[in-house]
């Protein structure tokens, strides 16, 4: 039976992905800060393991991964998904606390989770596993007024490449999924902001389409890896928007 930890599992892309994996028969570790939301999912799915933790807390992250490894016996995959989109603006308008929080969650949090997953996958038997980082279209072409978000997502691409290289000797594959405008609460906030400003919001897509893409990446045999995947609303301005 396959196993995966999904971070940011209490809402948005993380929750949709976790639910899909559970419905497909995987054992799923649900990692997020909202214990009540995780417990609600776990009550409906006997193969779910609630792991309440803040991804920016190294001790809590290590404890969550250790708990999952002890209960599930092994870790086949990590969907490294947790992230935030802090209030936007030009660089001189962005509050320093929003910059630091963005770096702490979007970069440090993903580093800490990848670190624990890599450690488990390296030492389990049979050795190996797969780490899937949630990048973003912003990892390549930013939106306006999003220097904090874009900078952290560009950094995730470097994390993905480094993990792919360092994991080769241990059977650990790493790939990145770059998702454009899946309908989540975060994206809805951008849509609402555009409408409030009298602008036409970007097209969106069903969050389930993003979840199915993660499932495809995670379900590949060990000898195959999706290094980078872009899945997006068909008519959103990506090609040519930069």
pLDDT of residue 239: 78
**What pLDDT, in 10s, does the model give residues 174-213?**
999 999 999 987 777 777 777 788 888 889 999 999 999 9
> What integer pLDDT is reported at residue 240 of this predicted model?
65
Exposure string for 58-92, b = 16+ CB within 10 A, e = fewer: eebbbebbebbbeebebbbbbbbbbbbbbebeeee
Catalytic residue among 100, 140, 149, 238: 149
Q: Does position 54 have pLDDT exceeding 50, yes or no?
A: yes
Span of 10-19, 31-40, 85-94, 187-196 with lowest mean pLDDT: 187-196
What interhelical angle do 12-23 and 207-219 show, nearest 10? 50
Instruction: Tell me whether residue 238 is one of the annotated catalytic residues.
Output: no
Please determine, for residue 75, whether its predicted confidence score (pLDDT) is greater than 70: yes
Residue-level pLDDT at 242: 43
Please state, rounded to an integer, the average pLDDT across all residues of the chain.
95
Compute the distance between CA of residue 80 and CA of residue 147 in angstroms, rounded to an integer: 21
Q: What is the pTM of this model?
A: 0.95
Domains of the chain: 3-232 (3.40.50.720)
């Amino acid at each position: 039976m396959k196993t995966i930890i999904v971070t940011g599992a209490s809402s948005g892309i993380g929750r949709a992905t976790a639910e899909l994996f559970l419905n497909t028969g995987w054992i799923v570790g649900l990692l997020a800060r909202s214990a009540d939301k995780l417990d609600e999912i776990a009550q409906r799915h006997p193969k779910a393991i609630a792991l309440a933790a803040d991804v920016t807390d190294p001790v809590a992250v290590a404890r969550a991964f250790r708990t999952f490894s002890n209960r599930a016996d092994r870790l086949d995959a990590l969907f490294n998904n947790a992230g935030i989109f802090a209030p936007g603006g030009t660089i001189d308008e962005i509050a320093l606390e929003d910059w630091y929080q963005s770096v702490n969650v979007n970069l440090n949090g993903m580093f800490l989770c990848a670190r624990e997953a890599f450690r488990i996958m390296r030492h389990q038997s049979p050795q190996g596993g797969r780490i899937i980082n949630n990048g973003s279209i912003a990892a390549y072409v930013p939106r306006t007024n999003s220097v904090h978000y874009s900078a952290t997502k560009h950094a995730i691409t470097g994390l993905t490449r480094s993990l792919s290289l360092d994991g080769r000797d241990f059977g650990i594959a790493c790939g990145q999924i770059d998702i454009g405008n899946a309908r989540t609460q975060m994206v809805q906030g951008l849509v609402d902001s555009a409408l409030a400003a009298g602008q036409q919001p970007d097209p969106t897509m069903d969050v389930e389409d993003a979840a199915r893409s993660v499932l495809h990446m995670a379900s590949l045999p060990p000898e195959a890896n999706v290094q980078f995947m872009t899945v997006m609303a068909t008519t959103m301005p990506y090609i040519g928007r930069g």
